[in-house]
Amino acid sequence: MVWTIPMVVAVGAALVAVPRISRRTVPLGVSVPHARTGELVVTRAVRTYQWACVALTVLTVLGSWATKAIEGSGGLWLLGLIVSGMGTFAVCRLPIVRAKRAGEWYEGVPVRIGAVLTEERTARPVWAAHAFSLSVAIVGIVIPWATLATLPDSSGQVVRWGDKSWGVAMTVPTITLVVAAGFAVLAWAITRRRDSILPDGDWAKARSLRDESSRVVQIALASFSVIGTLMTTSLGVTPLLRVSKTAADTALCAGSVALLVPIVWLIAATARAQTRGRAVTHLRADPDSPDDDALWKLGFIYYNTEDPSAFVPKRMGVGYEPNAGHPLGLLIYLIAPIAILVAVVVFVLG
Amino acid sequence: MEIGVDPLSPVPIYQQIRDRIVEAIGDGKLRRGDVLGSVRAMAGALRINPATVVKAYELLRSEGLVATNAKTGTFVARDRDGEHPDAAFEGDWSQRLTTVLAEGRARGIGHDRILEFCGEICNRLESGRRMQKEGQ
Find the CB nearest A112 among B6, B30, B40.
Answer: B6
Size of interface A-B (CB pairs under 8 A): 94
Confidence of residue B132 (pLDDT cuts 50, 70, 90): very low
Distance CA A247, CA A253 (A): 10
What amino acid is encoded at B56 in this protein? A
- Angle formed by the axes of helices B39-46 and B13-26, to 10°? 110
> Is B82's pLDDT higher than 80?
no
8 A C-beta contact, residue A233 and residue A176: yes
What amino acid is encoded at A272 in this protein? R
Distance CA A92, CA A89 (A): 5
Q: For residue B135, what pLDDT is reported?
A: 42
Q: Which residues of chain B lie closer than 8 angstroms to A113, CB-CB?
A: 4-7, 46-47
- In chain B, what are the domains? 1-136 (1.10.10.10)
CA–CA min distance A124, chain B (Å): 19
Mean pLDDT, rounded, for A63-79: 84
Q: Which helix (H) or strand (E) holds A313?
A: strand A311-313
Q: For residue A3, what pLDDT is reported?
A: 67
Helices (H), chain A: 4-21, 40-66, 73-92, 94-103, 127-147, 166-191, 203-237, 245-278, 327-343
| pTM reported for the whole predicted model | 0.76
What amino acid is encoded at A85 in this protein? G
Q: Where are the domains of chain A?
A: 4-103
Which has more pLDDT, A36 or A121? A36
Contact assignment for B5 to A309 by CB distance below 8 Å = no
| For testing contact with chain B, the best of A104, A112, A117, A205 (most B CBs within 10 A) | A117
Q: Which residues of chain B lie closer than 8 angstroms to A308, CB-CB?
A: 40, 43-44, 50
β partners of residue A313: A320
Distance CA A309, CA A45 (A): 32
Contact assignment for A308 to B44 by CB distance below 8 Å = yes
Q: Which residues of chain A lie closer than 8 angstroms to B4, CB-CB?
A: 112-115, 199, 203, 287
8 A C-beta contact, residue B36 and residue A117: yes
**What are A4-57's pLDDT values in tens digits?**
788 889 899 989 999 988 888 899 999 999 889 889 999 999 999 999 999 999
Confidence of residue B134 (pLDDT cuts 50, 70, 90): very low
Confidence of residue A248 (pLDDT cuts 50, 70, 90): confident
Which has more pLDDT, A256 or A312? A312
> Is A315's pLDDT higher than 60?
yes
Confidence of residue A196 (pLDDT cuts 50, 70, 90): confident
Looking at chain A, which residue has its C-alpha nearest residue B73?
Answer: A118
Q: For residue A156, what pLDDT is reported?
A: 45
Q: For residue A328, what pLDDT is reported?
A: 92
What amino acid is encoded at A265 in this protein? W
Distance CA A260, CA A56 (A): 20
Contact assignment for A117 to B3 by CB distance below 8 Å = yes
The C-alpha angle with vertex A14 and arms to A13 and A17, in degrees rounded to 5, equals: 85
Tally of CA atoms within 13 A in the half-sphere of A277 that contains its CB: 29
Q: Which helix (H) or strand (E) holds A321?
A: strand A320-322
> Is A241's pLDDT higher than 80?
no
Q: Does B107 touch chain A (CB under 8 A)?
A: no
What amino acid is encoded at A197 in this protein? I
Contact assignment for B36 to A111 by CB distance below 8 Å = no
- Enter the DSSP assignment of A293: G
8 A C-beta contact, residue A253 and residue A3: yes
Q: Does B95 touch chain A (CB under 8 A)?
A: no
Ramachandran angles phi, psi of B49, nearest 5°: -70, 135
Distance CA B29, CA A285 (A): 24
In this prediction the ipTM stands at 0.77
**Residue A200, by phi and psi: left (phi above 0), alpha (psi -120 to 50) or beta?**
left
Contact assignment for A110 to B6 by CB distance below 8 Å = yes
Percent of chain A with pLDDT over 90: 32
Of A3, A96, A114, whose CA–CA distance to A42 is shortest? A96
Q: Which residues of chain A lie closer than 8 angstroms to B36, CB-CB?
A: 117-118
CA distances A328 to A243, A333, A334, Å, are: 42, 9, 10
Mean pLDDT, rounded, for A318-331: 89
Mean pLDDT, rounded, for A214-231: 87
Which residue numbers of A have CB closer than 8 Å to B's CBs?
Answer: 106, 110-120, 194-197, 199, 203-204, 207, 286-287, 290, 292, 295, 304, 306-309, 312
Looking at chain A, which residue has its C-alpha nearest residue B45?
Answer: A196
Find the CB nearest B1 among A117, A204, A292.
Answer: A117
Mean pLDDT, rounded, for A192-208: 77
Q: Which helix (H) or strand (E) holds B67?
A: strand B66-69
> Is A205's pLDDT higher than 80?
no
* Virtual torsion, Cα B114, B119, B120, B122, nearest 10 deg: 120
β partners of residue B68: B74
The residues, any chain, with a CB within 8 Å of residue A90's CB and separated by 6 or more, are A298, A299
Q: Does B2 touch chain A (CB under 8 A)?
A: yes
Least confidently predicted of A114-118, A130-134, A265-269, B60-64:
A265-269
Confidence of residue A320 (pLDDT cuts 50, 70, 90): confident
DSSP A93-140: THHHHHHHHHHTTTTT--B-EEEE-B----PPP-HHHHHHHHHHHHHH
- Restricting to B residues 75-94, those with a Cβ less than 8 Å away from any Cβ of A are none
**What are B25-71's pLDDT values in tens digits?**
998 889 999 999 889 888 888 888 899 999 999 999 999 999 998 88
Q: For residue B133, what pLDDT is reported?
A: 47
Q: For residue B112, what pLDDT is reported?
A: 93
Ramachandran angles phi, psi of B54, nearest 5°: -55, -40
Distance CA A311, CA A307 (A): 10
Confidence of residue A336 (pLDDT cuts 50, 70, 90): confident
